[in-house]
Structures are given as structure tokens and as C-alpha cells.
């Protein structure tokens, strides 16, 4: 089977409807359209799964049109469809998968099912040379995991959080401070003006082993600091704090999260055969983390590959990119509406040939 030239990627795993077209010949992203639902979920303080699924249903056709237009191609130019299979919000994943299956069937092209976390892991290498083995940190709203990637197919999970993800620590922290959702970008911004030493956060130690991380204690510590500060300031809500207090809270919390991640980065660089480091996921947008991770890598004399900002938060370019490097003939996904297993490409061709004729 010849490698498909243009792959259409689809990601609907959470609150972003995204489609992208990746050119496997030039290794370039021709388009990467992301329709964010943040405004819809903001009033609830977090993602509402049922609303997110419905919004994907609404957005997909327009995102598809925009994606083709931006790439300057037509649907007939698409030679494969790649879609996020898991992990994510189940209703949201189903919407994307159904759209992907219908489209692949309509265009009579193969469908590839891609793992969302693996796609994040490899996202620093979209449009950039890759070298194995590399240590990867996927740090997002749902995950904080270190991997050793020995090839596109050989990925070892080295360690991960035992409770909250780092992005959750940003989001929950921001909520406690009355800063809205999502918390990461606003905490990042306000931290620029704050004092990192204003509030102390002890560094979490996980009894299960050095390879694990934990962030749930930070929320509790922040809550205690916020309550004490409310007494000092004689206010009843955190949103009544003066701006400098909020900035100090943000800077101290961000510093604690980044130091925790960087300590673990040092541990895995010492204890693995990694020759470089790749940082990915929504929290990889964090300005302090980008600087500090680069400093750690410099001290270990290894390259630090930061995912480009447009490929940090959820996007379909990473899905199409990974499909282009990971897909094998036997990975072609069944187009049957109910099948969830990977099937043999030859079997698929046979099924296709034997399908009932259209009326
Ligand atoms: O990868 P992503 O879009 O979705 C998941 O798969 O979770 O990541 C979203 C997460 C949110 O928790 C958000 O607060 C965080 O990424 N985030 C940031 C920044 N930008 C987004 N966290 C820290 N600093 C940022 N600048
Ligand atoms: Zn993600």
C-alpha cells in the first residue's frame, strides 16, 4: 500500500473541534483549524461533557470546510482520515469517530485511529527533525506523564501523576482565586507581576516511588493560604483581593507546579537513556515551564524540543502527523459503525468489495 499523500486529522476529544491536513510528502501542515468552545463552558467553570459533544456535532461541518479552504485542497485530494480514538470525553470521541468513519467511507480512503496522548507526545516534532530515544513530558488538563519514546511504535510510560494533572492544578487554583476557566493562561499572565516566594508550597513526595508525581496537595495548601489571606485582608471572597495579592498567589502556585515538573524531569534525565527531551500538552504553553525546562536540558547538555504554541493545546495537526508516521497496513480501522477493533487491511478490502450495491 502506497503511503497516502494528504491525511486529514480530526480531534474532538474535549472542548476543541479541530481538523488539519498534513502533507506526508513535504512533511508540512497545510491547515490546522481549531474551533474552541471555551466561551461556552466558561460560565460553568469547566467543560460540560454533554454540551461539548453537541457543540462538536454543530461545528464539524464548518471546521471541515475551513480546513479544506485553508489548505487549498478539495475533499477528493484527501487520501486518508486519522481520528482521535482515545482518551477523552466519550461522547466527544464518538462524534469525531463517527464523522471520521462516514468521511473515510464516503471518500473510499483508509481510516486510522490515533491515541491522543501519543499524538501530544510527538507534537514537538511536527515540522521538525526527530531523534530517538527521547524523554517526553505530556502535561495537560487531564494528564501529566513522562514517557521514553524509542520509536513511533515503542513507547514506555516511565511515570505519571497519581492524582491531579498539572493543568488541573492551574485550573483549580484559578477557580479558588476567582479567575475563571481555563486557569493556566491567566495564572501565567498574572505571575509575571507576582512574587514567587510570597506563599510557601511544600513539594509533594509520593510514597509509591520516585517516578510518580502528585498535585492534589497544592490545591489544599492554596485553599489554606487563601483563607488566611481573606482574614488578613478582611474580605469574604478571593476575588476581592487587591491585584498584587492575586499576582503573588499566581506566581507562587505557578513556581511550585513548574519546580515539581522540573525536579521530575531531572530525575528521569538522570535515570533514563534519553538523548533529548520533548515538552508537549496544554501546560507546555506555560512561559516559566518553557524557560525552566530548557535550563534543565542545558545543564544535561541535551536538546530541549518545545512543542510550537499552536501544537500545545488540543489540535488535529498532531493527529494527522502521528498517523503519517505510525500507520501500518494492519492499522487500518474498521469502517463498520459498531466495530471498535483494528482489523486487517486485506479483510477490509474484502468487506468493501462484498458490500451491498447502492440503490
Ligand atoms: O492539551 P489541552 O488543550 O487539553 C487537554 O488534553 O487537557 O490542555 C489544556 C490545559 C488546561 O488545564 C489549561 O489551563 C492549560 O492546559 N494551559 C496552561 C497554559 N495554557 C493552557 N497551563 C499553564 N500555563 C499556560 N500558559
Ligand atoms: Zn490534549
State residue 337's pLDDT score: 53
pLDDT of 341 reads 44
Residue 297 CA to its chain's centroid (Å)? 22
pLDDT in tens, the chain (359 residues): 678 899 999 999 988 999 999 999 999 999 999 998 888 888 888 888 889 999 999 999 999 999 999 999 999 999 999 999 999 999 999 999 999 999 999 999 999 999 999 999 999 999 899 999 999 999 999 999 999 999 999 999 999 999 999 999 999 999 999 998 889 999 999 999 999 999 999 887 787 888 999 999 999 999 999 999 999 999 999 989 999 999 999 999 999 999 999 999 999 999 988 989 999 999 999 999 999 999 999 999 999 999 999 999 999 999 999 999 998 766 677 665 544 444 445 554 555 565 555 43
Q: What is the DSSP string of 198-241?
A: SS--PPP--TT-TT-B--HHHHHHHHHHHHHHHHHHT-SSGGGS
Cβ(135)–Cβ(276) below 8 Å = yes
Nearest-5° Cα angle at 16, 265 to 78: 100
Model pLDDT, residue 350: 58
pTM: 0.90
CA distance 68 to 276: 35
**313 CB less than 6 Å from ligand 1?**
yes
The pLDDT, as a whole number, for residue 338 is: 46
For ligand 1, atom 14, name the residue with the nearest CA: 184
**Ligand with smallest separation from the Cα of 115:** 2
Which bound ligand lies closest to the C-alpha atom of 139?
1
Task: Determine if ligand 1 sits within 6 Å of the CB of residue 194.
Answer: no
Ligand 1 centroid to 281 CA: how many Å? 7
* Site to substitute for ligand 1 among 36, 121, 141, most atoms within 8 A of C-beta: 141
Nearest one of 249, 253, 248 to 195, comparing CA atoms = 248
pLDDT attached to residue 12: 97
83 vs 105: CA distance, rounded Å: 13
**To the nearest 10°, the Cα dihedral for 172, 174, 176, 179?**
-140
Give CA–CA dist 64/319, Å, rounded.
15
Amino acid at each position: 500500500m502506497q503511503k497516502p499523500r494528504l491525511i486529514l486529522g480530526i480531534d474532538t476529544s474535549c472542548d476543541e473541534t479541530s481538523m488539519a491536513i498534513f502533507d506526508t510528502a513535504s512533511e508540512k501542515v497545510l491547515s490546522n483549524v481549531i474551533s474552541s468552545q471555551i466561551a461556552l463552558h466558561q460560565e460553568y467553570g469547566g467543560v460540560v461533557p454533554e454540551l461539548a459533544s453537541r457543540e462538536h456535532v454543530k461545528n464539524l461541518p464548518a471546521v471541515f470546510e475551513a480546513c479544506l479552504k485553508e489548505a487549498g485542497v478539495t475533499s477528493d485530494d484527501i487520501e486518508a482520515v486519522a481520528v482521535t480514538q482515545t482518551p477523552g470525553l466519550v461522547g466527544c470521541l464518538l462524534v469525531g469517530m463517527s464523522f471520521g468513519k462516514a468521511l473515510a467511507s464516503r471518500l473510499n480512503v483508509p481510516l486510522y485511529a490515533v491515541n491522543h496522548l501519543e499524538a501530544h507526545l510527538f507534537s514537538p516534532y511536527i515540522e521538525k527533525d526527530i531523534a530517538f530515544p527521547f524523554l517526553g513530558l505530556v502535561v495537560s488538563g487531564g494528564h501529566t506523564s513522562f514517557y521514553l519514546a524509542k520509536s513511533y511504535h515503542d513507547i514506555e510510560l516511565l511515570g505519571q501523576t497519581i492524582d491531579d494533572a498539572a493543568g488541573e492544578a492551574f485550573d483549580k487554583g484559578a477557580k479558588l482565586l476567582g479567575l475563571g476557566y481555563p486557569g493556566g493562561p491567566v495564572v501565567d499572565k498574572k505571575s509575571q507581576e507576582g512574587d514567587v516566594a510570597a506563599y510557601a508550597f511544600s513539594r509533594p513526595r509520593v510514597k509509591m516511588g520516585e517516578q510518580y508525581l502528585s498535585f492534589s496537595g497544592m490545591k489544599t495548601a492554596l485553599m489554606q493560604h487563601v483563607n488566611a489571606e481573606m482574614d488578613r485582608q478582611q474580605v469574604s471572597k478571593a476575588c476581592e483581593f487587591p491585584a498584587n495579592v492575586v499576582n503573588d498567589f499566581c506566581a507562587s502556585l505557578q513556581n511550585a507546579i513548574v519546580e515539581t515538573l522540573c525536579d521530575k524531569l531531572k530525575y528521569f534525565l538522570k535515570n533514563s537513556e534519553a538523548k533529548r527531551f520533548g515538552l508537549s500538552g496544554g501546560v507546555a504553553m506555560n512561559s516559566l515551564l518553557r524557560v525552566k525546562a530548557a535550563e534543565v536540558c542545558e545543564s544535561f547538555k541535551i536538546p530541549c524540543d518545545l512543542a510550537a504554541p499552536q501544537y500545545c493545546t488540543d489540535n488535529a495537526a498532531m493527529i494527522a502527523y502521528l498517523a503519517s508516521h505510525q500507520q501500518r497496513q494492519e492499522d487500518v480501522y474498521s469502517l463498520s459503525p459498531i466495530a471498535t477493533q483494528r482489523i486487517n487491511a486485506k479483510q477490509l478490502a474484502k468487506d468493501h468489495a462484498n458490500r451491498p450495491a447502492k440503490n
